[in-house]
Chains A and B, each alone.
Chain A
Amino acid sequence: MSCPTFESLSAEVDGELAQLEAEAMRSHLVGCDKCRARRTQLLLLRGAVRNASASPLASDRLKARLAATAQKRGRAKFLRLGLGLAAAAAVAGLLLPWVRSKDVVTELVGDHRGTTVTGEEPFDVVSSDANVLERWFEGKLDYRLRIPRPPATRLLGARLCDVGGRQFPLAAYDREGRRLSLFALGTAAGSQGGTCREGVAGFTVCRQAADGIDYMLVSDYPGAEAKRILTSMLSERP
């Protein structure tokens, strides 16, 4: 057998020859020093290419960008549906101007349901260590986020939620088998007493400011208990 072509040897090292061709190649290689040397050369080249090629680690920023891209698209679809309904309502004279003020809270409750309760929307970072989660948020927010570490609860992970182009961090907890989402809505003036409302898309929403950050807790606890949990969370110090 005459020596195989370079292309055939190249396909051989990739294991991409047809069975008959591969068998003929193996027989030839046994008796041909030159082709064996060529084959060795191709295998060494493989190692050299692997060593030399860029192998960047995807930054958390990229993963967050991908998550935000999916979320924005989901929001856009939601908005298109909402605009359709609004147009229909306008025709019927039933515009509800109060809906707009509730949008952010309602959407964040949806994030609590999708991420913390059902798991349909993945965490950006999974860890039970608050330090790890805080470090992940560094550089992504224009304020320093402190994630409470309350006793009798377990951190599950965190995510950066996008509502209307604004970023809201979410930290998810497990408490007695029930799921809680703590959102930071932005900076606030000092600390303020909390408010609570039950029945927001099926959940209880409590808000309270502490250390200059406006927090919102979403859970399925009754209002008074949810308020007590949030106050207790925010009074903890690392």
Chain B
Amino acid sequence: MTENELLTVAIAAANQLKRFAQNLCGDVDGAEDLVQEGFLRALANRAQLRDASRAIPWLLMIVRRVFLEKHRRSERQSHLIELDATLTDPPIGNLEEEMLRGALSEEVSNALAALPEDWRSCLLLREVDGFSYQEIAQIVECPVGTVRSRLARARAELLVSLHTYAAERGIAQGARR
């Protein structure tokens, strides 16, 4: 892939790259810096990209690598959380209507932000970008089985957080467990 072809892909995927970067670092300006730095690194290493159809996951992987290099400490912290976490089934309550109405957007955002980075990245790459487990595994550089596990844990954690919120407001009365 030539530099111009890679540039064309990056510009076409600029929204996606920026959203991913913003979910990593949490601010708009930092996200653009991250994308630019990742793109520069991608240009320098473009010979490593064997399959042009995988250019976008590859760019996302590099953006995440750049982020992790800048945030080594928080990466170690999230690994500790993952090792300690055990997956228990979240409750099934009357969250559905609230979710459908979108009334919990802020709570969902907060719960997402509270997830470990690697759980959150897997979840957003799946739910928002629609990547397959294989592609997510490439982006976050882990086995497919780990992606499956992280997605389940992220979802369970979100449901627990939302259920807690709903219970505090009396929404989940009659919940089944």
Contacts and interface: CB of A to CB of B under 8 A. Distances in A.
A58 B112 contact: no
B68 interface: no
Given A47-B99, A53-B124, A122 B11 contact: yes
A63 B92 contact: no
Interface in A40-60: 40-42, 44-59
B16 to A, nearest CB: 8
Contacts of B158: 45, 49
A58 B151 CA distance: 27
B31 interface: yes
A51 B105 contact: yes
Nearest to A47: B99
A2 to B, nearest CB: 13
B126 A14 contact: yes
Interface in B8-47: 8, 10-11, 14-15, 17-19, 22-23, 28, 31-32, 35-36, 39-40, 43-44
B123 interface: yes
A65 to B, nearest CB: 5
A48 B102 contact: yes
Contacts, number: 139
B171 interface: no
A112 to B, nearest CB: 16
Contact of B92 (A38, A47, A62): A38
A44 B87 contact: no
A52 B149 contact: no
A162 B69 CA distance: 29
A119 to B, nearest CB: 9
A6 interface: yes
Contacts of A10: 148, 151-152, 155
B7 A6 contact: no
Given A53-B112, A73-B43, A16 B36 contact: no
A46 to B, nearest CB: 5
Nearest to B104: A48
19 contacts: A6-B87, A6-B155, A16-B133, A42-B155, A44-B99, A45-B99, A48-B99, A49-B158, A54-B22, A55-B19, A55-B128, A58-B14, A65-B32, A66-B7, A66-B14, A66-B36, A69-B39, A73-B40, A73-B44
Given A6-B156, A37-B176, A45-B99, 6 more contacts: A41-B92, A41-B95, A45-B159, A55-B19, A56-B19, A63-B14
Interface of B: 3-4, 6-8, 10-11, 14-15, 17-19, 22-23, 28, 31-32, 35-36, 39-40, 43-44, 87, 89-90, 92, 95-96, 99-100, 102, 104-106, 108-109, 112, 123-124, 126-128, 132-133, 148-149, 151-152, 155-156, 158-159, 162, 176
Interface pairs A-B: 8 shortest CB-CB: A58-B14, A52-B108, A7-B152, A10-B152, A70-B7, A48-B99, A52-B109, A49-B127
